């Protein structure tokens, strides 16, 4: 393995399974960002943070990956 490659490449070379990061709900995402779940859902609807809508229609369930929202959430 070269120094520039992330450790995940080594696991794939050794045929080890690498599980993907799990999705979290608005409550856990809110705790992570020190915001309210309502604010998290509003930010998701507006596209201010990366979010994954589940379901069709108006009332969607939102899921988040903490690694995606860690550096992209607006401050304030």
Each residue of 26-45: pLDDT tens digit?
999 999 999 999 999 999 99
Each residue of 15-31: pLDDT tens digit?
667 778 999 999 999 99
Question: Does residue 10 surpass a pLDDT of 80?
Answer: no
Total-model pTM? 0.67
Q: Tokens representing 74?
A: 């607006």
Higher pLDDT pick, 41 / 59 = 41
Higher pLDDT pick, 12 / 47 = 47
Could you tell me if 55 and 49 are in contact, meaning their C-beta atoms sit under 8 angstroms apart?
Answer: no
**C-alpha torsion sign, points 55, 57, 59, 60:** positive
What is the model's pLDDT at position 63?
A: 97
Q: Find the angle CA(28)-CA(31)-CA(34) to the nearest 5 degrees.
A: 150
Could you tell me if 58 and 45 are in contact, meaning their C-beta atoms sit under 8 angstroms apart?
Answer: no
């Amino acid at each position: 393995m070269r120094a520039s490659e992330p450790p995940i490449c080594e696991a794939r070379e050794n045929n080890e399974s690498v599980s993907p990061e799990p999705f979290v709900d608005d409550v856990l995402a809110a705790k992570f960002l020190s915001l309210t779940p309502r604010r998290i859902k509003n930010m998701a609807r507006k596209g201010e943070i990366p979010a994954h809508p589940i379901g069709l229609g108006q009332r969607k369930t939102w899921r988040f990956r903490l690694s995606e929202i860690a550096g992209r959430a607006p401050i304030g």
